[in-house]
């Protein structure tokens, strides 16, 4: 049987799902399988009815939401008028990436798997639920699942025996050719080879609006190890509308010093220009990369040279290293078993922003007080609790001033300044009657943000105790009450590892 073209479609918010999807593409090529890897919203979803073999890789964001680059696909695939036999010719597998500290762990992957079955598609194997909270990371679940996937695929669609698998450590054939130009079209050697034309249409991720920065203010104490900033931008001439809860995506660039150092180490001429050409007709060039492009522009604007490398980076280095021992170590760092060594090797200080607990309506995160009051012109917050340190008590003076004016009740838990630690969950229990009254009688909202390791579980247990002690609910009824708050979006979490 002739092996079909494998299609890998990904929905990725931060790049992790895309990295896994591209890994699938590399492993398919090692097994001599034709493979295309695309973002879900860049694929013509109506063509799914003709695809025989598809692997979906999708992350879950926020409160069970799909990533931005699969929202159009999400709306289409859940159209009620799609026939139940739409995808009856398709074999598929779904790989999810999520965080089990969230209530809707891998919600997108689970819902997509069920929907594909409803449309008649056949699952090659059970869904894979990668978990950021696993001590070895999501790859501890993904790696054995991928082994089962390739076994199933090659069983159904065997490749010719005269095409052996390309082993790990052997570089794959390049997808592109890079041709340096004999002359630099633009004399500005350290900038783009082509002048940037005026963007057409409204601002978007591919055509961003270059907003001037107005202020850049540090909001943590000068001696605090966390450097958290309030940055304001001027979008007066952009035509962009802004509503509460919107976020800004900032495309950074590498510093001139880092760019110069990178080029020096690799022996690259920053002023040299090149064009990139695919070796195969169905391989697109990287989106957004100008043609031609200068080495300086490539390194400064498009390569993340200061990031913590992913597993795939060490896998690629292993293919390029001429030293056997070095190659073995690189392959170890690219394995799930080597993740502890990889984290130690790549370790650098991590910034934890702030644990914020709100047990009143209409706020989220460490936002400025004036902005909070803009969100709730007719409802005053009844209580607010912050756990961290005086050094990262964001807008502390403003919060205290609002409390003096009677606009809110402020409760703090500065655990880093205490001999006997007092955390958010302790303050919640102390204020149990108030918390119950706010939630049960005044329709309050509860927003929880902070580190995902222990805090969400501890706070949830404190709430369950309050529901039982103050509300007289049994343990099962307290769990049902909490679930109802989550379902109606009156209890929301935003946590990170």
Q: What does the DSSP assignment read for 421-443? A: ---HHHHHHHTHHHHHHHHHHS-
229: phi then psi, degrees, rounded to nearest 5: -120, 145
Q: Which two tokens stand for residue 312?
A: 């795939």
| CATH superfamily assigned to domain 6-156 | Flavodoxin domain (3.40.50.360)
Whether 404 has a pLDDT exceeding 60, the answer reads yes
Tens-digit pLDDT profile for residues 443-494: 888 888 777 667 888 889 999 999 999 999 999 999 999 988 888 888 887 7
CA atoms within 13 Å, Cβ hemisphere of 170? 9
Flag the least confident range among 16-20, 128-132, 245-249, 260-264.
Answer: 245-249
Q: Which two tokens stand for residue 5?
A: 């073209």
Residue 205's pLDDT band, with cuts at 50, 70 and 90, is: low
Mean pLDDT of 154-161: 84
What 3-state class would DSSP assign to 77? Answer: helix
Q: What pLDDT score was predicted for residue 91?
A: 93
Taking the mean position of all CA atoms in its chain, how far away is CA 38? Answer: 17
- Topology agreement, domain 6-156 and domain 355-496: yes
Tens-digit pLDDT profile for residues 226-265: 788 888 888 888 888 877 667 777 778 899 999 999 999 8
Whether 46 has a pLDDT exceeding 70, the answer reads yes
Q: What pLDDT score was predicted for residue 196?
A: 41
CA–CA gap between residue 124 and residue 88 (Å, rounded): 13
Q: Percent of the chain, pLDDT > 70?
A: 82
Beta strand residue intervals within 247-295, DSSP E: 273-278, 293-294
What 3-state class would DSSP assign to 92? Answer: strand
CA–CA gap between residue 414 and residue 386 (Å, rounded): 7
Q: Percent of the chain, pLDDT > 90?
A: 23
Mean pLDDT of 1-24: 84
Query: Which contacts qualify for 321-330: CB closer than 8 Å, 24 or more apart?
Result: 327/169
In whole angstroms, how large is the CA radius of gyration of the chain?
A: 26
What 3-state class would DSSP assign to 387? Answer: strand
128: phi then psi, degrees, rounded to nearest 5: -100, 125
Whether 363 has a pLDDT exceeding 50, the answer reads no
Residue 176's pLDDT band, with cuts at 50, 70 and 90, is: confident
Bigger pLDDT: 254 or 408?
254
Q: What pLDDT score was predicted for residue 195?
A: 38
Tens-digit pLDDT profile for residues 364-388: 334 555 545 554 444 444 444 454 5
Q: What pLDDT score was predicted for residue 10?
A: 94
Helix (H) or strand (E) run with residue 296 in it? helix 295-297
Residue 76's pLDDT band, with cuts at 50, 70 and 90, is: very high
Ranges 68-82, 193-207, 296-310, most confident: 68-82
Beta strand residue intervals within 73-132, DSSP E: 91-98, 122-123, 128-131
CA–CA gap between residue 331 and residue 315 (Å, rounded): 6
Bigger pLDDT: 374 or 156?
156
**Where are the chain's structural domains?**
6-156, 311-345, 355-496
Mean pLDDT of 191-214: 63
Tens-digit pLDDT profile for residues 163-172: 888 877 778 8
Q: Which two tokens stand for residue 76?
A: 């289409």
Q: What pLDDT score was predicted for residue 193?
A: 43
CA–CA gap between residue 322 and residue 327 (Å, rounded): 7
Ranges 202-211, 219-228, 359-368, 427-436, most confident: 427-436
CATH class of 355-496: alpha beta
For residue 120, count other CB atoms closer than 10 A to its CB. 16
Whether 13 has a pLDDT exceeding 50, the answer reads yes
Mean pLDDT of 82-95: 92
What 3-state class would DSSP assign to 179? Answer: strand
Bigger pLDDT: 374 or 338?
338
Which residues are CB-neighbours of 470 under 8 A, at least 6 positions away? 432, 433, 435, 436
Mean pLDDT for the chain?
79
Q: What pLDDT score was predicted for residue 417?
A: 64
């Amino acid at each position: 049987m002739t092996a079909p073209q494998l299609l890998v479609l990904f929905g990725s918010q931060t790049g992790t799902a895309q990295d896994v999807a591209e890994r699938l593409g590399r492993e398919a090529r090692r097994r001599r399988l034709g493979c295309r890897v695309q973002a879900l919203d860049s694929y013509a979803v109506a063509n799914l009815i003709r695809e025989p073999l598809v692997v979906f890789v999708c992350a879950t964001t926020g409160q069970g939401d799909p990533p931005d680059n699969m929202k159009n696909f999400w709306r289409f695939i859940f159209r009620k008028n799609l026939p139940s036999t739409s995808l009856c010719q398709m074999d598929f597998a779904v790989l999810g990436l999520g965080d089990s500290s969230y209530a809707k762990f891998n919600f997108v992957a689970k819902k997509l798997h069920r929907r594909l079955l409803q449309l008649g598609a056949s699952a090659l194997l059970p869904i894979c639920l990668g978990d950021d909270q696993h001590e070895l990371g999501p790859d501890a679940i993904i790696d054995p699942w991928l082994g089962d996937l390739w076994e199933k695929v090659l069983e159904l669609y065997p490749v010719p025996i005269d095409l052996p698998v390309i082993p790990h450590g052997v570089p794959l054939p390049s997808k592109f050719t890079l041709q340096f130009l004999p002359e630099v079209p633009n004399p500005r050697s350290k900038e783009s080879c082509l002048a940037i034309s005026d963007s057409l249409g409204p601002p978007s991720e591919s055509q961003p609006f270059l907003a001037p920065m107005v202020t850049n203010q540090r909001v943590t104490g000068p001696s605090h190890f966390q450097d958290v900033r309030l940055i304001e931008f001027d979008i007066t001439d952009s035509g962009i509308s802004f509503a509460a809860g919107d976020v800004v995506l900032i495309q950074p660039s590498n510093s001139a010093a880092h760019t110069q150092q990178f080029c020096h180490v690799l022996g690259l001429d920053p002023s040299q220009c090149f064009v990139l050409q695919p070796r195969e007709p169905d391989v697109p060039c990287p989106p957004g990369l100008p043609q031609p492009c200068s080495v300086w522009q490539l390194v400064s604007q498009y390569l993340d040279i200061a990031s913590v490398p992913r597993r795939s980076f060490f896998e690629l280095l292993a293919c390029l290293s001429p030293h056997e021992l070095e190659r073995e170590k690189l392959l170890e760092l690219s394995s799930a078993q080597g993740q502890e060594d990889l984290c130690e090797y790549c370790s650098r200080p991590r910034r934890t922003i702030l644990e914020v607990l709100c047990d009143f309506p209409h706020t989220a995160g460490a936002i400025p007080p004036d902005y909070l009051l803009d969100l709730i012109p007719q409802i005053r917050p009844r209580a607010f609790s912050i756990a961290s340190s005086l050094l990262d008590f964001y807008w502390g003076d403003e919060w205290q001033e609002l409390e003096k004016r009677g606009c809110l009740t402020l409760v703090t838990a500065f655990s880093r300044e205490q001999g006997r630690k007092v955390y958010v969950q302790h303050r919640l229990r102390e204020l149990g009657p108030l918390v119950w009254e706010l939630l049960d009688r005044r329709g309050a909202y509860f927003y929880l943000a902070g580190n995902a390791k222990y805090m969400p579980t501890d706070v949830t247990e404190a709430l369950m105790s309050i529901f039982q002690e103050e509300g007289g609910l049994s343990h099962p009824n307290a769990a049902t009450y909490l679930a109802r708050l989550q379902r109606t979006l009156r209890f929301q979490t935003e946590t990170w590892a």
